[in-house]
Chains A and B, each alone.
Chain A
Amino acid sequence: MRITINGMACEAKEGQTVLQAARANGIYIPSLCYHDKTGVAGKCRVCVAEVKDMRGLQATCALPAREGMEVVTNSETVLQAQRMVVDLLLSTGKHDCIACEQNGMCELQDAAYYLHVERPGLQYADVKPDIDSSSAFVYVDRSKCVSCGRCVAGCNDVVVNEVLDFGRRGHGTSIVFNENLAMGESTCVQCGECVQLCPVGALTEKKSMGKARSWETHKVRTTCPYCGVGCQLDLHVKGEQIIRVTGVEDGSPNKGRLCVKGRFGYDFIYSEDRLTTPLIKENGEFRKASWDEALDLVANKFKQIIAESGPDAIGGVSCARSINEDSYQMQKLFRAAIGTNNIDHCART
């Protein structure tokens, strides 16, 4: 179907909301509570717009697109309304951007930038930091929470871990874990879906803190090294350092979801314990060796055993954790160079 946004003809699909159609056509409407994964929430009212023949401002995240609809998102009326909402959100929280991990990826910051809200115009109260750092990997700062509900919907309806909820009432409303326990004491399994969904700096990765500004990192898509589901990850990398890991939202099969190992189990590669040089055992002790020395030793020993006992006196097991190409090379080494089919891998048992 065709709709018009700010005078521009846009293609919209059946079932799309106006916000979805706008995004698909490259038009930015500030919004906080809507996420493709958690669906319509209709909570934050930042995404309002004028629609011809409809009374008042409409929340575009909850408005189904209809043929011929004429939408205006950039009138002064709309921008004033959006500004007021963003102003209120900034006023009621402790939204200090300077050292916030989310700086540069924050959807509230994006909205404020778009609407030119430099400072909150309202003085609400002195908001104190409200920190929960009790869990292994997630840093919670409720003073930055905008109660958009994406984390709550994600925890309950996407990954169905059923830990997060809203607690308290009125302006005291905040996210709670189980019956208002500290995150680390709750039944949370640290999958980090809430972190990925949080539009602001209320839920962030502990491991990333202070390691890089968001604009210093670039994303590299890869596959999780743990179980056989094959989740697609974006590694956020600065130099050679992985700063954080997020699930690829449109990637198959995981659609952005990850588990605790996939999201937070990446830094073993930087461990000081890594093997960094070939080792040869002499008199019961390992000593460092060059590649040439170690490779020559192994190849010569194999040749000697083949000559004395035949190729079937050598066996090997490949690794079901490493890449396909490594397993291919190893079986090729055994079959073509050594001359035996004594090649297997660890997943047999």
Chain B
Amino acid sequence: MTNSFGEFANAKMFLCIGTNMTEAHPVASTFLKNAVRKGAKLIVVDPRKQPLVDFADIHCQIKVGSDIAFLNGLMNVLITENLYDKDFVQNKCDNFDAFKAKVLEYPVERAAEISGVSVKQIREVARLLATVKPAMLCYTLGITEHTTGKDNVMSTANLQLLLGNMGMPSAGVNPLRGQNNVQGACDMGALPNVFPGYQKVIDAPMREKFAKAWNVDKLPDQNGLMMPQMMERLVDKKIRAFYVFGENLANTEPDIRKVEHELASAEFLVCQDIFPTETTRFAHVVFPAAAWSEDDGTFSSSERRVNRVRKVKTPPGEARPNWWIFKEIARRMGQDWASNSAQEIWDNEVSVLASALNGIKYSRIEKDGLQWPCPTTDHPGTPFLHRDGIFTHGKGIFNPVEWAPPAEVPDDEYPFVLSTGRRLYHYHTRTQTGRSGMNQLLSEETADISLADAQKLGIKHGEYVKVRSRRGEVKVKAKVTEQVPPGMVWMAFHFREGCANWLTNAVYDPVTFTAEYKACAVALERA
């Protein structure tokens, strides 16, 4: 997030696109609702009439996968009606002309046709955005889980640059992170192209810096593979050993049959986890790990805040802290690492090597965490980025982006769009919530469908239906709900039985390799 949750309360306007905050980030949504109660405007852009819509001034019920067309249409109105922030665009941004040329290819009528949002409503949203400043733009996986995910993100950034909604409180581009430490895993360099602190592995000076810190002669100089690429290479044995730490890939990845074939093909699979899962079945070696509350450490939240996590119990049996397991393998491969606790790792390595974290030490985050960038130990942290429109690259860069439909769209054989996400009462594959009593609140998967489709197909609420895609088939109960528009089936991936990932399409954004969980084609019938 460029900005902070603390700024929600005083925001004047929100544009929420592809974020079911009430279920996926419940506490964040309470602050948004407080602001709306105080008079903030709320525009919700979502194919579903999800719970935030009850609080919205405008709900743009876009078709799945039409985000770029919608946003380009919106920006077309802002430009053609002269409603954008000319001062900000002229003085703080680059590449406006190329961007403008692309946006002009999306007259509002074309945007309306692709997105299913009326011309009138697109104009209304544009005018409201031009009137109330600043607006906080919030998004979640509704933007990223598409084959056009990267471009979708660029498009949201284009909009906030065009409106000049950057570099001030209660503004910005705010992706709400789904997992507690997605931000941190990225910050730590658990990515194939960067060291901790986003320092590129292809830059020789960075490699030298880390080689010296880690006491090795050299470090690999080419970007590594992304997860889906690694998994595909398990099949042709280009990847011979695969190490899975704390993930249940067999349920979370698209097209379970394909994923399980890949896992089963691994010559040597190591799993490190707190529970046996559908994924550990395929392992050759399983390491038992310490869980949350069994180790000290830090998580970094969506708002770039490094927060303390504390130990209150010893791990069961022989389970050990994850950092210890990695250190022990390294030792057997000839390396002796000095740090012997999470605090030593953070204070002596992480915060020394990543400049944005230089000022964050355990002693400073006993209570509230600190938000990076925090370059020195007397720096108070940074609640919002790009102050006064000064960006990492100097100026904000407009990226012209083209709309493209999802890789698989409905046809006669598979006439429905399947879109997926999370539900309030469970978390991912339920390894944790399934063992915390949450099954009392939600005990099985459903196929959420519209009343219109239920009537057309003679399906009653609560009766079993078959949902079928080109990849597989599941039998689940129908949940007839006004949340879902006609033509859509909506499902989650919390339960192995009826998991949406038996159906989802393993196609990816070509740059980020994020899968298109939000759109594939399915058929629906009574079971």
Given A227-B178, A229-B25, A235-B293, A345-B322 contact (CB < 8 Å): no
Asked if B131 is an interface residue, CB under 8 A from chain A, the answer is no
Given A268-B431, A274-B319, A322-B301 contact (CB < 8 Å): no
Asked if B59 is an interface residue, CB under 8 A from chain A, the answer is no
Report chain A residues within 8 Å CB of B179: 227-228, 320-321, 346-347
Question: How far does the alpha carbon of A313 sit from the alpha carbon of B234 in the complex, in Å?
Answer: 9
Asked if B196 is an interface residue, CB under 8 A from chain A, the answer is yes
Asked if B96 is an interface residue, CB under 8 A from chain A, the answer is no
Question: How far does the alpha carbon of A336 sit from the alpha carbon of B427 in the complex, in Å?
Answer: 33
Report chain A residues within 8 Å CB of B192: 341-344
Q: Which of B193, B333, B346, B514 has the most CB of A within 10 A?
A: B333
Query: How far apart are B501's CB and chain A's nearest CB, in angstroms?
Result: 11
CB closest chain-A residue, reference B517: A349
Q: Do residues A230 and B303 form an inter-chain contact, with CB atoms below 8 A? A: yes
CB closest chain-A residue, reference B301: A230
Contact mask for chain B residues 262-297; partner A; CB cutoff 8 A; 1 contact, 0 none: 000000101001111000100111111101111101
Question: How far does the alpha carbon of A264 sit from the alpha carbon of B440 in the complex, in Å?
Answer: 12
Asked if B241 is an interface residue, CB under 8 A from chain A, the answer is yes
Report chain A residues within 8 Å CB of B424: 189, 259-260
Query: How far apart are B476's CB and chain A's nearest CB, in angstroms?
Result: 22
Q: Which of B247, B440, B514 has the most CB of A within 10 A?
A: B247
Query: How far apart are A256's CB and chain B's nearest CB, in angstroms?
Result: 10
CB closest chain-B residue, reference A230: B301
Q: Do residues A261 and B438 form an inter-chain contact, with CB atoms below 8 A? A: yes
Query: How far apart are B219's CB and chain A's nearest CB, in angstroms?
Result: 6
Report chain B residues within 8 Å CB of A323: 181, 184, 295, 297-299, 309, 322-323, 342
**Which of A24-32, A75-83, A167-175, A326-334 lines the interface with chain B?**
A326-334
Asked if A39 is an interface residue, CB under 8 A from chain B, the answer is no
Total of A-B residue pairs, C-beta within 8 Å: 446
B239: contacting residue among A160, A220, A314, CB under 8 A: A314
Q: Do residues A301 and B273 form an inter-chain contact, with CB atoms below 8 A? A: no
**Which of B29-37, B102-110, B396-404, B410-418 lines the interface with chain A?**
B29-37
Question: How far does the alpha carbon of A191 sit from the alpha carbon of B30 in the complex, in Å?
Answer: 11
Q: Do residues B24 and A230 form an inter-chain contact, with CB atoms below 8 A? A: no
Question: How far does the alpha carbon of A44 sit from the alpha carbon of B275 in the complex, in Å?
Answer: 49
Q: Do residues B37 and A315 form an inter-chain contact, with CB atoms below 8 A? A: no
B224: contacting residue among A251, A269, A309, A342, CB under 8 A: A342
Q: Do residues A299 and B195 form an inter-chain contact, with CB atoms below 8 A? A: no
Question: How far does the alpha carbon of A223 sit from the alpha carbon of B334 in the complex, in Å?
Answer: 35
Q: Do residues A309 and B240 form an inter-chain contact, with CB atoms below 8 A? A: yes
Which residues of A in the span 179-212 have a Cβ within 8 Å of any Cβ on B? 189-191, 207
Asked if A276 is an interface residue, CB under 8 A from chain B, the answer is yes
Report chain A residues within 8 Å CB of B58: none
Given A253-B305, A325-B323, A326-B297, A265-B193 contact (CB < 8 Å): no
Asked if B457 is an interface residue, CB under 8 A from chain A, the answer is no
Q: Do residues A330 and B230 form an inter-chain contact, with CB atoms below 8 A? A: no
Asked if A298 is an interface residue, CB under 8 A from chain B, the answer is yes
Q: Do residues B210 and A223 form an inter-chain contact, with CB atoms below 8 A? A: no
Asked if B310 is an interface residue, CB under 8 A from chain A, the answer is yes
Report chain A residues within 8 Å CB of B127: none
B30: contacting residue among A159, A227, A337, CB under 8 A: A159
Question: How far does the alpha carbon of A261 sit from the alpha carbon of B243 in the complex, in Å?
Answer: 29
Asked if A252 is an interface residue, CB under 8 A from chain B, the answer is yes
Question: How far does the alpha carbon of A267 sit from the alpha carbon of B438 in the complex, in Å?
Answer: 11
Asked if B390 is an interface residue, CB under 8 A from chain A, the answer is no
CB closest chain-B residue, reference A254: B27
Q: Do residues A348 and B514 form an inter-chain contact, with CB atoms below 8 A? A: yes
Which residues of A in the span 154-171 have a Cβ within 8 Å of any Cβ on B? 157-160
Report chain B residues within 8 Å CB of A300: 332
Question: How far does the alpha carbon of A325 sit from the alpha carbon of B185 in the complex, in Å?
Answer: 9
Question: How far does the alpha carbon of A344 sit from the alpha carbon of B188 in the complex, in Å?
Answer: 11
Report chain B residues within 8 Å CB of A225: 180, 292, 299, 309, 432
Q: Do residues B317 and A228 form an inter-chain contact, with CB atoms below 8 A? A: no
Query: How far apart are B186's CB and chain A's nearest CB, in angstroms?
Result: 8
Asked if A88 is an interface residue, CB under 8 A from chain B, the answer is no
Q: Which of A241, A297, A298 has the most CB of B within 10 A?
A: A298
Q: Do residues B240 and A276 form an inter-chain contact, with CB atoms below 8 A? A: no
Query: How far apart are A28's CB and chain B's nearest CB, in angstroms?
Result: 24
Given A275-B273, A331-B196, A315-B437 contact (CB < 8 Å): no
Report chain B residues within 8 Å CB of A266: 293, 436
Q: Do residues B293 and A242 form an inter-chain contact, with CB atoms below 8 A? A: yes
For the A-B complex with A252-B6, A265-B432 known, give 8 more contacts whose Cβ atoms are closer than 8 Å.
Answer: A227-B26, A232-B368, A264-B437, A269-B274, A314-B239, A320-B190, A323-B295, A343-B192
10 A-B contacts (beta carbon < 8 Å): A220-B310, A220-B312, A227-B176, A253-B4, A260-B26, A275-B319, A323-B184, A325-B323, A328-B189, A346-B252
Chain B residues with a Cβ under 8 A of chain A: 4-6, 24-28, 30-31, 33-34, 37, 55, 176-193, 195-196, 201, 210, 214, 216, 219-220, 222-228, 230, 233, 238-247, 249, 252-254, 268, 270, 273-276, 280, 283-289, 291-295, 297-303, 305-310, 312-314, 316-323, 325-330, 332-335, 337, 342, 345-346, 349-350, 367-369, 424-425, 427, 431-438, 440-441, 508, 512-515, 517
Chain A residues with a Cβ under 8 A of chain B: 136-137, 157-160, 189-191, 207, 220-232, 235, 237, 240-242, 251-254, 257-262, 264-269, 271, 273-281, 286, 289, 291, 294-303, 305, 309, 311-349
